[in-house]
Structure 1
């Protein structure tokens, strides 16, 4: 299988490495020329609890893709999806499958603007990963992923992709209940990411304080209420359990919004807390803590352009 990883950041490199280990032909696609050059010069450096690997995976700019691939895995920021996929139009042929492992809600609809709905898959990952330098990624902690066709596509290809990732070291399941999984991950992110970004601390710090633990629990409960009102029947306890794992086993992991704020980049708050807030309004529900975190991160983002 020929696979293009669109967005070779921390998560894109981690998943590209898994596909590579499983024997797929992988291309890492990014716009950061220094990062691309570092990967091409010495290989992708991946540090895990098992040790450090140097993986010879080629990295390209989007305009260097000139032929269709079998699978495009999208790891860009949600607000960059349309432009990023438009930039690799030559790689999306009539049989190319698209898979979003991005944060937030609504990624299925964004991908369906670039491929037939039956060739769109979505998924969610619980793997921690940090970009620690040019061409260097660290992943310390356990996790996995789930994926499935977003609409009415056949599951066979999704199973093949899941099997490849599992063979490459990331336990992955083709899960027909993928939209429940997506909502659960979005609620988890709505609780954890903004607090890490606003405090400029990793999850281990949040575990130490009653204030943060109480807010996390409230945001999870608010989000589950919105999901259920939207027809997505999920339970709160597994998400509470996942936040506990984040604050303990992944205590030093830098959440994506924390990385964004530290780097002076726009966050994905609109696709996470903002999307949950929109769904709450549509259902006639109030989610005050989720909304407060949303507004605080919107102010943080506003500083970038002022």
Structure 2
């Protein structure tokens, strides 16, 4: 299958590498020029379990992509989704399936401006990855992936794509309710991303704090209150228990979440407005108290002002 990874940062590079290794024709699209140049000049450096290898995968800037893929997997930052879709619209053919694996909430509305709904797949991934530098991806932990079509008539095609992803070891399965899973994943990001960023710690270190259990439950409760307005029912304790399992180093405990990588490590703007900020905005719209998400949104934006020049 010809597959474009649109937004080939840490996670995009991981997916691109794993799909390439099982014989798919993969090309990487990213707006970071140094990253693209390094991949083309030396290959994608893949570091996993102390082993390093270089993998030749074509990479290009968004405006340079010309080939129409069978599948485009979106891994852009939330705030850059619309701009990226505009940049690559020439390669989104009438039969190109588009799988959105972005963190955060509300992306399906943006996608439908540029992609026929029958070609849209929404997904949730629990894989992790990091960048040690341009063209150098570090793989850690285990993961899984859920995928579902938006148009009910496209279930067969969605399941075929799941098969391709599974062959690459991505542990994909067809979801019967991906919107629920997107909200549940947003709770993971709304707790671990924002907390680890403000506290400047990894997931394991956060989980060891005596304040962590109550803090994540307070945040999740506000997510749950807003999700109910969209017909999504979240069990606060079950979601919290799932997050607490991630603290284990054999899962993702040693990992610094993507928001920490962006802001603390690389002084880049974050996706806070599509995670805690989304709940904060909807709380005001629905007259729901979201004081924890309000505070974390404000604190992350304040940190952005200090670090992003």
With the shorter chain as reference, the TM-score category is over 0.9
Per-residue deviation, 1:228: 2.4
- Residue 246 of structure 2 aligns to a residue whose secondary structure is helix
- Residue 248 of structure 1 aligns to a residue whose secondary structure is coil
Q: Which runs of 5 or more structure 2 residues have no equivalent in the other structure?
A: none
1:144-293 to structure 2, matched below 5 A, reads 144-249=144-249, 250-262=252-264, 263-293=266-296
Matched residue count: 306
Distance 1:58 1:266 in 2: 27
Are 1:117 and 2:117 matched, yes or no?
Answer: yes
Distance 2:153 2:132 in 1: 37
Per-residue deviation, 1:51: 4.3
Distance 2:137 2:305 in 1: 29
Q: 1:294 aligns with which of 266, 289, 297?
A: 297
- Alignment partner, residue 89 of structure 1: 89
Distance 2:286 2:225 in 1: 10
Per-residue deviation, 1:153: 4.8
Distance 1:222 1:193 in 2: 16
Per-residue deviation, 1:259: 0.9
Distance 1:97 1:222 in 2: 34
Distance 1:298 1:33 in 2: 26
Per-residue deviation, 1:241: 2.6
- Alignment partner, residue 9 of structure 1: 9
Per-residue deviation, 1:171: 0.4
Distance 2:201 2:50 in 1: 26
* Alpha carbons 2:75, 2:100 under 8 Å: kept: yes
Shifted more, 273-282 versus 170-179: the winner is: 273-282
Distance 2:34 2:226 in 1: 42
* Alpha carbons 1:10, 1:137 under 8 Å: kept: yes
Per-residue deviation, 1:305: 6.6
Distance 2:273 2:151 in 1: 23
Distance 2:50 2:142 in 1: 12
Shifted more, 228-237 versus 24-33: the winner is: 228-237
Query: What is the aligned-residue RMSD (CA, Å)?
Result: 1.9
1:16-165 to structure 2, matched below 5 A, reads 16-49=16-49, 51-165=51-165
Distance 2:153 2:21 in 1: 27
- Residue 154 of structure 2 aligns to a residue whose secondary structure is coil
- Residue 148 of structure 2 aligns to a residue whose secondary structure is strand
Distance 1:282 1:60 in 2: 41
Distance 1:50 1:24 in 2: 26
- Residue 46 of structure 1 aligns to a residue whose secondary structure is strand
Distance 1:24 1:223 in 2: 38
* Alpha carbons 2:202, 2:254 under 8 Å: kept: yes
